[in-house]
Structure 1
Amino acid sequence: MKTSPLGRTGIQVSRICLGTMTFGEQNTEAEAHAQLDRAVEAGVDFIDTAELYPIPPKAETQGRTEAYIGSWLKARGRHDDLTIASKIVGRSANTWFRDDGSEPRLDARNIHEAVEKSLKRLGVERIDLYQIHWPDRTTAGFGSNPTRWKTPEPAADEVAIEVTMGALADLVDAGKIGHVGLSNESPWGTMRWVAGAEAGKGPRIASIQNAYNLVNRTFEGGLAEIALREDVGLLAYSPLAQGYLTGKYANGALPEGSRKQLFDRLGRYELAHAAEAVDAYVALAAEFGVRPATFANAFVLAQPFVTATIIGATSIPQLEECLAAADLTWTDEMQDAVDALHQRFGNPCP
Structure 2
Amino acid sequence: MIPLEPVTVGTSGLGKRPGADLNLAKAILTSPFRQVDTSNNYADGESERLLGAAIRELGGLPDNRVVFSKGDQDPVTGAFTGDRMRRSFEESTERLGLATLPLYQLHDPYTIEVHEALAPGGAVDVLLKLREQGRIGAIGIAAGRRELVEEYVKTGVFDVVLTHNRYTVVDRSAERILELATQRGMTVFNAAPFGSGILAGDNFRGRTYGYSEPSPEFLAHVDRFRALCAEWGVEPAAAALHFSLREPRIHTTVVGVNSVDRLRELEAHQRAVIDVEFWSALEALGAPPAPPTD
Do the two structures share a fold, i.e. TM-score over 0.5? yes
Tell whether 2:13 aligns with 1:22.
yes
The one-character-per-residue Cα deviations of 1:142-176 (angstroms, maximum 9, x if unpaired) are xxxxxxxxxxxxx6x96142443321122123333
State how far apart, in whole Å, the 2-side matches of 1:346 and 1:172 are.
40
1:208 Cα deviation (Å)?
A: 2.7
Q: Give the Cα–Cα distance (whole angstroms) in 1 for the partners of residues 202 and 31 of structure 2.
A: 27
Who is 1:104 aligned against?
A: 79
Change (3 A) 1:161 1:130: same
For residues 274-311 of structure 1, give each alpha carbon's deviation from its aligned partner in whole angstroms, at most 9, with x where no partner exists. Answer: 32222222222222222221121111111111111111
On the 8 A contact 1:273/1:348 being kept in 2, the answer is no
Alignment partner, residue 290 of structure 2: 347
CA deviations 1:211-261 (Å, max 9, x no partner) are 3212221111x12222333222321111111111124587xxxxxxx5x69
Alignment partner of 2:40 out of 40, 44, 51 = 51
User: Residues 74 and 303 of structure 1: is their aligned pair in 2 closer, same or farther, counting only changes over 3 Å?
Assistant: same
The SS at the match of 1:63 is helix
Aligned to 2:56: 74
Matched, 1:227 2:218: no
Give deviations 1:35-63, integer Å, cap 9, x for gaps: 64256432x11100111212xxxxxxx10
Aligned twin of 1:59: none
Per-residue deviation at 1:182?
1.2
Aligned amino acid, residue 205 of structure 1:
D
> 1:45, 1:191 → 2: CA distance?
30
Provide the C-alpha distance between the structure 1 equivalents of 2:263 and 2:273, rounded to a whole number of angstroms.
Answer: 19
Indicate the SS of the match to 2:39: coil
**Contact persistence 2:141–2:149 (CA under 8 A):** no
Q: Does 1:244 align with 2:198?
A: yes
SS in 2 for 1:273: helix
Give 3-state SS (helix, strand or coil) of 2:199's partner: helix
Q: CA deviation at 1:331?
A: 4.6
- Which amino acid in structure 1 is aligned with residue 89 of structure 2? V
1:312 paired with 2:256, answer yes
Query: Which amino acid counterpart does residue 24 of structure 2 have in structure 1?
Result: A
2:126 pairs with 1:167? yes
One-letter amino acid of the counterpart of residue 119, structure 1: T
User: TM-score when scaled to structure 2?
Assistant: 0.84
RMSD, matched Cα: 2.8
| Matching residue's letter, 1:16 | V
After the TM superposition, which residues 1-350 of structure 1 pair with which residues of structure 2 at under 5 Å, given as runs? 7=1, 9=2, 12-25=3-16, 27-34=17-24, 36-37=26-27, 40-42=30-32, 44-54=33-43, 62-76=44-58, 77-78=60-61, 81-89=64-72, 97=75, 101-105=76-80, 107-136=81-110, 159-162=116-119, 163-184=122-143, 185-192=148-155, 194=156, 197=157, 204-211=158-165, 212-220=167-175, 222-247=176-201, 267-343=211-287, 345-350=288-293
TM-score using structure 1 length: 0.72
Q: Quote the Cα distance in structure 2 between the aligned partners of 1:330 and 1:232.
A: 29
Q: Secondary structure at the match of 1:215?
A: coil
Whether the 8 Å contact between 1:215 and 1:347 is mirrored in structure 2 is no
Structure 1 unaligned blocks of 5 or more: 1-6, 55-61, 139-154, 198-203, 251-257
Change (3 A) 1:274 1:248: farther
> What's the offset of the Cα at 1:67?
0.4
Q: How high is the sequence identity, in percent, across the aligned residues?
A: 23
Q: Match of 2:141, SS?
A: strand
Deviation by residue 1:182-221 (Cα, 9 ceiling, x = unmatched): 11253232011x1xx4xxxxxx41343333212221111x
- Is contact 2:12–2:38 with CA below 8 Å preserved after alignment? yes
Q: Which runs of 5+ in 2 are unaligned?
A: none
Mapped partners of 2:140, 2:252: distance in 1: 13
Distance change >3 Å, CA 329–CA 129, structure 1 → 2: same
Q: Distance in 2 between matches of 1:272 and 1:13?
A: 37
Distance 2:86 2:39 in 1: 15
SS at match of 1:209: strand
Q: 1:284 to 1:234 in 2, by over 3 A?
A: farther
Sort the Cα spacing of 1:114 and 1:223 in 2 relative to 1 into closer, same or farther, 3 A.
same
